[in-house]
Structure 1
Amino acid sequence: MDVVSTVRRTIDRYGLLLPEETVVVGVSGGPDSLCLLHVLNRLRGQYRIELHVAHLNHKIRGNEADADAAFVARLAEEWGLPCTVEARDVPALAREKRLSLEEAARRVRYAFLAEVAKQIGAKRIAVGHNADDQTESVLMHWLRGAGLAGLRGMLPAISLSDYRLLEGEDWGTRDKGQGATPYPFTLIRPLLEVTRAEIEAYCAEHGLQPRFDRSNLDTTYYRNRLRHELIPYLEGYNPGIREVVRRSARVIADDYAYLQAELDRFWSQVVISESDEAIKFDLAAWRDLPPSFQRSTLRQAIRLLRRSLRNINWIHVEDARVALLEKPAGTQVTLPRGLMLTMSYQTFIIADEGYVELPADLPLLAVDSLPLNIPGTTQLPESQWHVEARLLGRNELPPGWEDNQDPWQAFLDRDVTGSELILRRRQPGDRFQPLGLGGRQTTLREFMINVKIPARWRHLVPIVASPYHIVWLAGWRVDERARVREGTKGVLHLRFAQSQ
């Protein structure tokens, strides 16, 4: 089957093109992208699409890279196609981001292509990955210890937001906000069923003269070592190894799609809660899963919490899985990119290292402030908790009130507090006089640190305040000025309680 027929079959099988759309075509000037552009240009009438050429000078190969950019711009002009050519200092970005040159170039390139698509209103971006690239990618993932997601190789079409290259970073694009935006762009690979040899033959047949990138011969790059050393070596054992690997990838991709559908069902059975910061699991329910779904739920959690993470190594997942099956409560397992798995007796959480779970059994404040009903009951918004306020005489204090062991109730001097109290969150510059410090004033921040209130929910701790000062840091300490003294006549009794 000739190249055009193979590409047409791939487009139709996977629905890669839609009529009346513009497709951004990434063109480096090499054989793959030149073949891609030529074939799509021949097919654009049949599929009723428009093409826009995009070329990025990575500033890696000096004058040769400049010549590549000029070549692509001239070719696009000759073929009557609109073209965007720009440059990025990839070596500088690689140093800044502490990435390999290959990885930095890939991320910058896709960010650039997404930027071009956004500017011209395109939804699809075509790149020249071919069948031999697929073989190399699958082998790279296998050598790294990838799971099924990696072993399925590159997909004919994938959302760039799923590709996990653009989120949370600024990759030198003009649109500085782009790094954090999940883009509705689809990356398509029309040449994925075409071999490198077929591409080179196509270029020769049609008089195309691609640019030659000498860095493709540099075996200091990992992919090039696979291409020029490992794969030829494996062909000594099986001359058809390239197609064998690709066929395995197609089978794995089908299996993966089925398992993902099953994962959605299992996910709801084992996940107690999830947010952008943390995912909490039911440990017993998770342990009841088959091993494959134990791994896939862990991978899914890591993906959801680290969307820019491109690869998740098998060893990270397996270490976590074994710990969850064998280790006691309190065990922690380090995961990629600053994530930590923490086990409890009945649950486990995957979250940022140092994450502190919001306690469900505390009356934390979901709003900035609200007035207290005195006397009466005040319901906390979005909470099972309320505050009861009672007015007592000095002689009505209950026995043992001075040794109050409930941190969520307080006995206060009514003449000091007044009746215009509010419940609020902390504010910048808050200060108070904690009971027991002899009237010494301290900042609320310093006090919270000293009594080890977790930083993550300090801003949610309810504070009872008068128009003049804090009278009670609920759950922790009454203000010295509001305490009940010998001469106190009227008492305000505040108590947090859970609603029935």
Structure 2
Amino acid sequence: MEAKMKSSVTAFMKKHQLLTKGATVLVGVSGGPDSMALLHFLCSIRKEWELRLIAISIDHQLRDTESEADLGYVSKMCDRWNVTFIGTSLDVPSYKQEKQVGTQIAARQMRYGFFAEQMEKYEADYLALGHHGDDQVETMLMGLVRSANSSDFSGIPVKRDFVTGCIIRPLLGVTKKEINTYLEASEIIPRIDPTNNETIYTRNFFRKKTIPLLKEKNSNIHTTVQHLSETLGEDEQYLRAQAGKVFNEIVELDEEGTLAAFEIDVFQAQHSALQRRIFHLILNYLYNRLPKDLSYVHEEQFFALLQSDKGNVQIDFPAHLKLEKVYGKLIFNFLPEEAPPSFHKTLEVPGRVDFPDGSTVTAFYNNTYYGQDKHSYFCNKEEIALPLHIRTRLAGDRMHWKGLEGSKKLKDIFIDAKVPKKDRAKWPILTDNNGEILWLIGLKKGQPDSQKSNTSYIQIIYEKGDM
């Protein structure tokens, strides 16, 4: 049976072109049955494929000492199998509280963040994960129960781009039963997470209650569903690409990311499959994060608004987004919030500026350069035009720094740094008397046009309040 599964997985990998010879492969290993079977399988083909294997194991700090013991187990097995081991502990409970997200989402975000760091560090070609055929069935069933959107039925991808390479899932072609048989034949005793048996979790409910019934009717259901997942995924990829092209042609967008609009007759001339996807592209553009209370009901309201005979009507979406039909045009726009007060203050050297939130900026001359951190800024006094100014953002603001060709909009810097829109208008900006942006305080340092040496320095220190 061990040889049978190895043959099945190898054929599946070759069909989907999941590996190349000489590749560096990171393997996500929890110590559970699936990941241990995957690691053992990859070890068995390591010589033939000339693979460099690195096992990545993560303690999410969710099961007290048990998860620590999982790390120790994986480390011991990697030592036995001569595999490089990377283990880490991630504070998921604190992250969950900070981001106000569920446990599974928090764990996934932190886990994939760490995977991404290791992919870059080792310049890896692949990240191999142990999802199997039964996982695919569960995912498709969960999509059926939770969603009315066809794009949610493409399931777990066999292969997708990730950082320096791809995520691959070589076990999607085999079942949990085949994996357990493989482990027994290989004399591997994996770690077992007791929460996998608790049916209060939706996925476990399908695993324990629903899938066994399906297998009574079709013992090969995992193969059927995997084929369905692949064909739906290919169809969805094509439709999204086509929708993206039409989106770029017919949807008008503002630079601030708060408004989108289109001519209704032009939109309705598109195929309905593209209309739905363009609608979702607009929502993804406008929302920094899709609201939890956004559902297919809003999609129905959107299409009902398009079909309405009334000339000027509007409906409200979550998070203050308004849809308005005006003279043959549909406009998505956020309701205006009260604009935070702007400010402009002169910063004398030496001198200090205080802000209402308790933040302060202090400037003084210094004959020694000590280096800079996030909350301090140094420059030669001959490089800049005094006096200095601290102000809020103005339309068209741009800045440049060493290594950047040309300049960059402040708006794009804020977006790259994921600064919430509500904070951007009140963010303090340091400029010289010519208006050149020297420091987007606490976020990005600029580069003066002129470069001097052997002069005294101006040091500026920012102390954070409640911003």
TM-score band by shorter chain is 0.5 to 0.7
Percent of aligned positions that are identical: 28
Letter in 1 for 2:305: A
Q: After the TM superposition, which residues 134-283 of structure 1 pair with which residues of structure 2 at under 5 Å, given as runs?
A: 134-160=136-162, 183-235=163-215, 241-273=221-253, 277=257, 278-283=259-264
Classify 1:346/1:45 alpha carbon distance in 2 versus 1 (closer, same or farther; 3 Å). farther
Rounded to whole Å, the distance in 1 between the matches of 2:128 and 2:86 is: 14
What SS class does the counterpart of residue 211 from structure 1 fall into?
A: coil
Rounded to whole Å, the distance in 1 between the matches of 2:144 and 2:15 is: 27
- The equivalent residue for 2:374 is none
Classify 1:104/1:328 alpha carbon distance in 2 versus 1 (closer, same or farther; 3 Å). farther
Judge conservation of contact 1:295–1:318 (CA < 8 Å) in 2: no
Letter in 2 for 1:299: H
Classify 1:140/1:339 alpha carbon distance in 2 versus 1 (closer, same or farther; 3 Å). farther
- The equivalent residue for 1:295 is 276
Structure whose alpha-carbon radius of gyration is higher: 1
Q: After the TM superposition, which residues 74-89 of structure 1 pair with which residues of structure 2 at under 5 Å, given as runs?
A: 74-89=76-91
- The equivalent residue for 1:319 is 301
Q: After the TM superposition, which residues 373-384 of structure 1 pair with which residues of structure 2 at under 5 Å, given as runs?
A: none
1:81-137 per-position Cα deviation (integer Å, ceiling 9, x unaligned): 111111112223223322222222222211121122222222421111111101111
Query: How big is the shift at 1:307?
Result: 7.3
- The equivalent residue for 1:121 is 123
Rounded to whole Å, the distance in 2 between the matches of 1:305 and 1:21 is: 40
- The equivalent residue for 1:331 is 314
Rounded to whole Å, the distance in 2 between the matches of 1:137 and 1:130 is: 11
Rounded to whole Å, the distance in 1 between the matches of 2:187 and 2:263 is: 62
Rounded to whole Å, the distance in 2 between the matches of 1:238 and 1:80 is: 40
Query: How big is the shift at 1:308?
Result: 6.1
Q: Pick one of 261, 284, 289 that aligns with 2:265.
A: 284
Query: How big is the shift at 1:315?
Result: 3.3
Query: How big is the shift at 1:23?
Result: 1.5
Q: After the TM superposition, which residues 93-132 of structure 1 pair with which residues of structure 2 at under 5 Å, given as runs?
A: 93-132=95-134
Letter in 2 for 1:258: Y
Judge conservation of contact 1:29–1:71 (CA < 8 Å) in 2: yes
What SS class does the counterpart of residue 86 from structure 1 fall into?
A: strand
Q: TM-score, normalised by structure 1?
A: 0.61
Q: After the TM superposition, which residues 378-457 of structure 1 pair with which residues of structure 2 at under 5 Å, given as runs?
A: none
Rounded to whole Å, the distance in 1 between the matches of 2:105 and 2:207 is: 17
Judge conservation of contact 1:23–1:51 (CA < 8 Å) in 2: yes
Judge conservation of contact 2:260–2:331 (CA < 8 Å) in 1: yes
- The equivalent residue for 1:165 is none
- The equivalent residue for 2:11 is 9
Judge conservation of contact 1:323–1:333 (CA < 8 Å) in 2: no
Q: Pick one of 18, 21, 32 that aligns with 2:34.
A: 32
What SS class does the counterpart of residue 172 from structure 2 fall into?
A: coil
1:348 aligns with 2:330: yes
1:136-170 per-position Cα deviation (integer Å, ceiling 9, x unaligned): 1111111111423210101111234xxxxxxxxxx
Query: How big is the shift at 1:64?
Result: 1.2
Query: How big is the shift at 1:225?
Result: 1.4
- The equivalent residue for 2:436 is none
Rounded to whole Å, the distance in 2 between the matches of 1:93 and 1:20 is: 37
What SS class does the counterpart of residue 209 from structure 1 fall into?
A: coil
Letter in 2 for 1:143: V
What SS class does the counterpart of residue 125 from structure 1 fall into?
A: strand
Q: Pick one of 42, 58, 63 that aligns with 1:56.
A: 58
Classify 1:73/1:428 alpha carbon distance in 2 versus 1 (closer, same or farther; 3 Å). closer
Query: How big is the shift at 1:291?
Result: 1.9
Letter in 1 for 2:232: I
Query: How big is the shift at 1:428?
Result: 5.8
Classify 1:325/1:217 alpha carbon distance in 2 versus 1 (closer, same or farther; 3 Å). same
Judge conservation of contact 1:340–1:352 (CA < 8 Å) in 2: yes
Classify 1:69/1:339 alpha carbon distance in 2 versus 1 (closer, same or farther; 3 Å). farther
What SS class does the counterpart of residue 192 from structure 1 fall into?
A: helix
Judge conservation of contact 1:272–1:282 (CA < 8 Å) in 2: no
268-277 vs 33-42, which moves further: 268-277
Q: TM-score, normalised by structure 2?
A: 0.65
Classify 1:130/1:339 alpha carbon distance in 2 versus 1 (closer, same or farther; 3 Å). farther
Rounded to whole Å, the distance in 2 between the matches of 1:210 and 1:276 is: 51
Rounded to whole Å, the distance in 1 between the matches of 2:89 and 2:192 is: 19
What SS class does the counterpart of residue 170 from structure 2 fall into?
A: coil
Letter in 2 for 1:252: L
Query: How big is the shift at 1:316?
Result: 3.5
- The equivalent residue for 1:90 is 92
Rounded to whole Å, the distance in 1 between the matches of 2:288 and 2:125 is: 21
Query: How big is the shift at 1:355?
Result: 8.4
Letter in 2 for 1:136: E
Classify 1:355/1:49 alpha carbon distance in 2 versus 1 (closer, same or farther; 3 Å). farther
Rounded to whole Å, the distance in 2 between the matches of 1:458 and 1:216 is: 47
Judge conservation of contact 1:114–1:185 (CA < 8 Å) in 2: no
Judge conservation of contact 2:175–2:222 (CA < 8 Å) in 1: no
Rounded to whole Å, the distance in 1 between the matches of 2:126 and 2:282 is: 28
Judge conservation of contact 1:25–1:51 (CA < 8 Å) in 2: yes
Query: How large is the RMSD of aligned CA atoms in angstroms?
Result: 3.4
Judge conservation of contact 1:269–1:285 (CA < 8 Å) in 2: no
What SS class does the counterpart of residue 83 from structure 1 fall into?
A: strand
Rounded to whole Å, the distance in 1 between the matches of 2:85 and 2:336 is: 48
What SS class does the counterpart of residue 187 from structure 1 fall into?
A: strand
Rounded to whole Å, the distance in 2 between the matches of 1:31 and 1:215 is: 14
What SS class does the counterpart of residue 210 from structure 1 fall into?
A: coil
1:246-305 per-position Cα deviation (integer Å, ceiling 9, x unaligned): 443233223223323432443344223475714432322112222221111112233345
